[in-house]
Structure 1
Amino acid sequence: MAIQKKIYFASDQHFGAPTIEKSKVREQKFVKWLDEIKSDAEILFLLGDLFDFWFEYKKVVPKGFVRVLGKLAELKDSGVEIHFFVGNHDLWMRDYFETELNIPVYFKPQEFTLHDKTFLIGHGDGLGPGDKGYKRMKKVFTNPLSKWLYRWLHPDIGVGLAQHLSVKNKLISGDEDVKFLGEDNEWLVLYCKKKLTEKQYDYFVFGHRHLPMEIKVSETSKYLNTGDWVIYFTYAVFDGEDLMLKTY
């Protein structure tokens, strides 16, 4: 009897934080999960912030993450379709995933039709109302001039500086308890509801919030946040009929 293939979604692993030693434990757990889903995965969507920091120079990428990258290459070579969405921590990705792993990389939410269901999928940062400070900062970080100037820093300095600043974020270090803000204040919920005024979607799937949640945004549409692999170790799976949130 043929195995029913499934579609998996995961985000916000933040490998590299808060320390290499602590990150490696989470890395090993994630690799074990990837190994387990290999037998029944049709598609894997990685929704951003796989790394706590990632910057691609023309000839250099950050050191480490060999187990994760090797396992992704193994899944891809075995026939699993993989899609990668950059997050706010790995937004300086270039073509490494595409050339080395043959994994397409997206910088904005994308529409997919999966088993006759319509999905809008992305990382989730900078969407919806508010958070104007971050939106201004993102424009600076993604500006071609900013990226060009940063590339002039030696990788030992550039990567080290970014990692130092990133782990000061309490959310990534695991010291901050993320709270549900309520449907009227969850900006991704508001974003989904606005998108429904433009087009019908069956499912919205995002990360970024580090908080697993499932919310009906209309009678026929659901928003799901995949949580993270820092505190919750949650992921989503679509079996062709239902989209479910699970914990590993």
Structure 2
Amino acid sequence: MTDPNHISIPKGGKIYFASDNHLGAPTNEDSLPREKKFVTWLDDVKKDAAAIFLLGDLFDFWFEYKTVVPKGFTRTLGKLAEISDAGIPIYYFVGNHDLWMANYFNKELNIPVFHRPQEFTLNNKTFFIGHGDGLGPGDKGYKRMKKVFTNPFFKWLFRWLHPDIGVRIAQYLSVKNKLISGEEDAQFLGEDNEWLALYSKKKLAEKHRDYFVFGHRHLPLEIQLNKTSKYINLGDWITHYTYGVFDGETFELKTY
């Protein structure tokens, strides 16, 4: 049986990684230039992409009612559909701003959605991939909040709000996030204070992986964990416009 988490990269092919677009923040109009830039990037990478990994927070808010999804982002959704229809696999990992994503991407775009980190083998390299929220030590307030927001009863209650009300409230709360509103810049805290680097070291002690790739921090980072393993943070498409490229042998962070 073929392992769905094993991807062989053809000669000249590459695997691309991006995270944290937060489309819709602070408003749809303000994020439109960023969305257009991201769509242009997707158009460029589809030429040699063996696969594309999107590591969450593509939207600043996303909630799927039974028959309704948030308005907007037509350019992005259309381009993802085009790439998926062309046979290029896309993998989506939910973030803390779109953790209420369900099966819309899978049904409409044929894009599998993951709610937890996953291990992939890309050629002969092992990758541990996820958004990164709530992992590692600390961040206890968010971890408690996430338990509430992912509780099925809470989601059921939220669905009873009319979408015009529910989406408006959620968008307001999302934009109040300091990192997105611009009140606070992402700062490198030092390797010993980077929760995702510490989490990666803990997972590495359990099992070897060549690369740990996350988003969430909005800060492009490369930290060597040992001689053969590295932690990568992809940055964002708000300030840095950074993305990852793996050619089958080496991983690079690049700026678009």
Q: Of the candidates 108, 114, 131, which is equivalent to residue 106 of structure 1?
A: 114
Letter in 1 for 2:244: A
Q: Select between 72-81 and 137-146 the one with higher mean Cα deviation.
A: 72-81
Matched, 1:14 2:28: no
Q: Note the 1:62-77 alignment, pairs <5 A.
A: 62-77=70-85
> Alpha-carbon deviations, 1:164-209, whole Å to 9, x = none?
1111222112342110010111000000000011100000000000
Corresponding position of 1:30 = 38
Corresponding position of 2:200 = 192
TM-score (norm 2): 0.95
Unaligned ranges ≥5, structure 1: none
Among the aligned pairs, what percent are the same residue?
73
Query: For residues 224 and 47 of structure 2, what CA distance do their matches in structure 1 show?
Result: 31
> Alpha-carbon deviations, 1:103-127, whole Å to 9, x = none?
0000000000001000000000000
> Alpha-carbon deviations, 1:50-105, whole Å to 9, x = none?
00000000000000000000000011111211000000000001100000000000
Corresponding position of 1:241 = 249
Q: Aligned-pair RMSD on alpha carbons?
A: 0.9
Corresponding position of 1:79 = 87
Q: Of the candidates 47, 56, 59, which is equivalent to residue 55 of structure 2?
A: 47
Query: For residues 63 and 165 of structure 1, what CA distance do their matches in structure 2 show?
Result: 17
Q: Of the candidates 117, 137, 151, which is equivalent to residue 145 of structure 2?
A: 137
Letter in 1 for 2:153: L
Corresponding position of 1:202 = 210
Query: For residues 74 and 226 of structure 1, what CA distance do their matches in structure 2 show?
Result: 24
Unaligned ranges ≥5, structure 2: 1-9
What is the count of residue pairs matched by the alignment?
Answer: 247
- Cα distance, 1:8 vs. partner? 0.3
TM-score (norm 1): 0.98
C-alpha contact 1:46 1:83 (8 A) present in aligned 2: yes
Query: For residues 93 and 137 of structure 2, what CA distance do their matches in structure 1 show?
Result: 21
- Cα distance, 1:3 vs. partner? 6.3
Query: For residues 11 and 24 of structure 2, what CA distance do their matches in structure 1 show?
Result: 35
Corresponding position of 2:182 = 174
**Runs of 4+ residues deviating >4 angstroms:** none
Query: For residues 227 and 200 of structure 2, what CA distance do their matches in structure 1 show?
Result: 13
